[in-house]
Amino acid sequence: MATLSQFGATAALAMALAVTGYVSGAQAQESTNRVAAETDWSVFVEESPKECWAVSAPRETVNTRGGQPVQVRRGDILMFATYRPDRSTPEISFTGGYPFAGDSTVNMQIGSSEFQLFVDGDWAWAGSPEDDQRIFAAMRAGAEAILTARSSRGTNTRDTFSLFGFTAATEEAARRCAD
């Protein structure tokens, strides 16, 4: 399975960080491939290789250890819906800002639907294009996505993403990658 990490994850992350406010104004000005902002989601385009993505940061993050809230240092926490010219449905991915526990999965809840994302280092993905389709449909119909995961250090995390603007952002990303 091709993953975002194989197709410019560094560029994707740098551009996404600019939109989500994780970088300074000077760094954000260097980001020239942001093409749209749809409420809680932004759209980026990379030309070589061609890929387009919608990205968002969580609106709420809770970290616990032993059932108690803890302060932990995490890197960038982002969810992506990435299009490539050869795919009509986006690849859904998530980076939690830390290495995930190797024997774990990330649980994604959207309304009453639950999905499992498979982990590889700091990233998590759906297991198949069919799973991406099911997750994508739920995200388009839902109000929020809650992702729960476990770090390699045993911290449990719960990140809540707003889906406000997700449909418009993914339509824009799909349109731009179809060109």
Q: For 119-128, how does the pLDDT look when each residue is reduced to its tens digit (9 = 90+)? A: 999 999 999 9
Task: Map out the domains of the chain as residue ranges.
Answer: 4-178
Instruction: Say how far apart CA 179 and CA 4 lie, in whole Å.
Output: 20
User: Which CATH superfamily is 4-178 part of?
Assistant: Invasion associated locus B (IalB) protein (2.60.40.1880)
Helix (H, G, I), strand (E, B) or coil at 170: helix
What's the pLDDT at 23? Answer: 34
**What average pLDDT does range 153-175 have in this prediction?**
95
pLDDT at 117 (0 to 100): 98
| % of the chain beyond a pLDDT of 90 | 69
Closest Cα partner for 16 from 72, 63, 47, 57? 57
Identity (one letter) of the amino acid at 126? A
What is the rounded distance in angstroms from the CA atom of residue 92 to the CA atom of residue 161?
Answer: 13
Q: What is the value of pTM for the model shown?
A: 0.81
- Identify the pLDDT of residue 37: 59
Q: Which of 122, 130, 147, 56 is nearest to 91 (CA)?
A: 130
pLDDT at 13 over 80: no
User: pLDDT at residue 70 above 70?
Assistant: yes
Q: What is the pLDDT of residues 29-54, one digit of tens each?
A: 233 465 555 578 999 999 888 899 99
- Could you list the beta-strand ranges (E) of 48-166: 50-56, 60-65, 68-69, 78-83, 91-95, 105-110, 113-120, 123-125, 144-150, 156-162
Q: What does the DSSP 8-state code read for residue 8?
A: -
39 vs 90: CA distance, rounded Å: 19
**pLDDT higher at 118 or 34:** 118
Identify whether the C-beta of residue 141 lies closer than 8 Å to the C-beta of residue 133: no
The sign of the dihedral angle between the CA atoms of 156, 147, 4, 74 is: negative
Q: How many CA atoms lie within 13 A of 56 on its CB side?
A: 26
At 85 the pLDDT is 83
